[in-house]
A and B are shown apart, each in its own frame.
Chain A
Amino acid sequence: MNNVFVYCEIESGKVADVSLELLTKGRVLANTLGCNLEALAIGHNLDGIEKELAPYGADVVHVADAPELAPFRTLPHAAIICGLFKEEKPQIALFGASPVGRDLAPRVSSALHSGLTADCTSLEIGDHTDAKSGTTYTNLLYQIRPAFGGNIIATIINPDHRPQMATVREGVMKKEVAKTPGKGIVKKIDASKYLNDTDFVVRIIDRQIEERKINIKSAPVIVAGGYGMGSKENFAILHELAEVLGGEVGASRAAVDAGMTDHARQVGQTGVTVRPKLYIACGISGQIQHTAGMDGSSMVISINTDPNAPINKIADYAIVGDVMEVVPKMIKYYKQNSK
């Protein structure tokens, strides 16, 4: 009762990074609150799944395993979660702000009338005194999120309803093995208790999921190209710099839309959130939708012909110049100096 729950996304037997990131965060929250961290795994062929979740701090792993539960469909997963939550009464429930989480969590929050905060960038425990009634609430979840296209940051609370539900995007929280692993005690869910035939009205006819090959999220250095790169061919120089520096190539949406590179490399509000040690923005103007995905970088270097490009406002170093001139020099001088 009153524990912290994390819904774990599983695609072809593999737990999504975002779920492990949430377990890492959930562990910290549970420690602060002095309660358990419980993971929820719904799908098929989940034998041994607790071994993947316990290292990140899961004390208990609730497992619903049946062929009709994979691949993910909203209604059966929502029905199981609602049923379980009514019995377990979690105080906090976290979901990935992924296509699955953003489809599922609102449905669950509506059914439980519990409130849901989308796309949190920070989760903290704190107290609150209601200005009108004077009532004081202790140990609430502060759900901190950007809204208004990133122009404001709101702290949202759910004083009176449980569970306090939030979604968090992939890459926003750190994924870290817990100092002391959780016990990973498996509790089998009897899913048939919660499911009706009507939960299966949506039939999946066809599914084409590509394995994600490009993973810029964990790269320590990101060399990102924007529309100012001019062409797909010019992007090659960024790959060269990234390789020399031990990093990956990222991109702005304008560059992706122009077909200069793959969508998987897109950084920003509708791409991935990254926070490398070093972010080199090449021919990127620095619109808020882009910077929202990279302003947590430890250091930012911009290369732009426009000395007044907005990206320079968040850059540590602003190189005013043509990318095609600057990038080759960076490669040359890095090689010279690193020997």
Chain B
Amino acid sequence: MKKTLKIVVLAKQVPDTRNVGKDAMKADGTVNRAALPAIFNPEDLNALEQALVLKDMFPGSEVTLLTMGPGRAAEIIREAMFRGADGGVLLSDRKFAGSDTLATSYALSRAILKLNPDIIVAGRQAIDGDTAQVGPQVAEKLGWPQITYAEEIVGTEGDELIIKRRLEHGVETVACPLPLLMTVNASAPDCRPRHAKRVMKYKYAKTASEAQEASTDYDDTLRKERPYLNITEWSVADVDADDAQLGLAGSPTKVKKIENVVFAAKEAKRLSASDSDIDSLMKELIASHTLG
């Protein structure tokens, strides 16, 4: 086993679909997606923690967060740096828009080839697309083995990493040599919090696009003196990707139709806890053969 590892964490910025508040609901009862806050995909934080655990096990290792998304997705790279990542790469290009999981995986795999890591740690699933397909598909694109639903890195045995997986009705412990890709489950430990010193150190970290927008003499000098404040930003050309495999054109699956779920106010029959209400309810259920 190597002494230090190059670790890439795959993470996605997602709209927070979990607790859709009243202000994110439109008048017709559907969700206004644009009104949802953008967050670090929850299981990708579990993934980041496992990467940091690996870094603790192999001191001197380097953790790089890789995300594909619009410019603002750099927010999760900074968040990762505050919590212990060494740096990050934002993969951003209009040509990625409309990618399904296969096109997304292809794009990510191109960036990964350039980063040349020993291990990739992804989340199990993103809470917007909800497919859990990107991890296994990236592994296939690279020709690497995949360890899904990882919960704990137990240790090493010779050249192998020992990983505990959470299955539906139990656990499985597997051994696998590097390189490998693991996807991390929500049941794995939570990510360590931000570290105050790291927040101070990295709060001005920016991608080239962000730096351009916020450009001041002070900011520009800071960036020159402290190269770690520059977040790498790559386009399709930078990762030498084939346009035909990206975006809508590169996606075998097509969305034919999208319907918003309407939380229709079907009128419920209101009952109280009184004896007479419960008595007549039970009579109704028996009469309608719902019960018995």
* Interface positions of A (Cβ within 8 A of B): 71, 74-75, 78, 98-99, 102-107, 109-111, 113-119, 128, 142-143, 146-161, 201-212, 221, 245, 277-278, 287-289, 298-299, 301-302, 307, 310, 312-322, 325-326, 329-330, 333-334, 336-338
Contacts and interface: CB of A to CB of B under 8 A. Distances in A.
B102 A109 contact: yes
Q: Which 7 residue pairs are nearest across A and B when measured between Cβ atoms?
A: A115-B252, A321-B273, A149-B17, A118-B131, A110-B140, A106-B133, A106-B136
Interface of A, helix, strand, loop or mixed by DSSP: mixed
Nearest to A302: B268
Contacts of A330: 278, 281-282
Interface stretch (B68-76, B110-118, B164-172): B164-172
Contact of A151 (B160, B167, B261, B268): B261
5 contacts: A74-B145, A78-B140, A115-B102, A278-B291, A317-B269
Interface stretch (B87-95, B122-130, B201-209): B122-130
A326 B275 CA distance: 9
B170 A202 contact: no
Interface of B: 15, 17-20, 30-31, 33, 100-102, 105, 127-137, 139-141, 145-149, 160, 162, 167-177, 251-261, 263-266, 268-273, 275, 277-279, 281-283, 285-286, 290-292
Nearest to A97: B132
B261 A153 contact: yes
Contact of B271 (A114, A160, A203, A319): A319
B148 to A, nearest CB: 5
Contacts of B260: 151-153
Given A152-B260, A202-B174, A313-B263, A326 B255 contact: no
Contacts of A310: 263
B128 A149 contact: yes
B254 to A, nearest CB: 5
Nearest to A295: B261
Contacts of A333: 275, 278-279, 281-283
Contact of B136 (A107, A150, A317, A334): A107
Contacts of A128: 256
Contacts of A116: 101-102, 131, 133, 253
Contacts of B162: 205
B172 A206 contact: yes
Contacts of B268: 302, 312-313, 315-318
Given A148-B17, A313-B263, 5 more contacts: A74-B136, A99-B167, A203-B175, A208-B170, A329-B275
Given A118-B132, A157-B253, A313-B266, A318 B101 contact: no
